[in-house]
Amino acid sequence: MRGLILAWAVGEGIIIYRSVKVNHAPPMPGALLASSGLFILLAILAEAGPEAATLAAVLAWGFDAAAFLNLVPQVTGGKVTSSVKTESASQPASGEVVA
The DSSP line for 11-73 is HHHHHHHHHHHHHSSPPPHHHHHHHHHHHHHHHHHHTT-HHHHHHHHHHHHHHHHHHHTTS-H
pTM of the model: 0.70
Residue 82 CA to residue 68 CA, distance in Å, equals 20
Of residues 75 and 30, the one with the higher pLDDT is 30
Query: In sequence order, what are the residues at sequence separation of 6 or more whose Cβ sits closer than 8 angstroms to the Cβ of residue 69?
Result: none
**Residue-level length of the chain:** 99
Angstrom distance (rounded) from CA 84 to CA 99: 26
Return d(Cα 92, Cα 4) in angstroms, integer.
Answer: 59
> Taking all residues of the chain, what is their mean pLDDT, rounded to a whole number?
83
pLDDT at residue 76 greater than cutoff 60: no
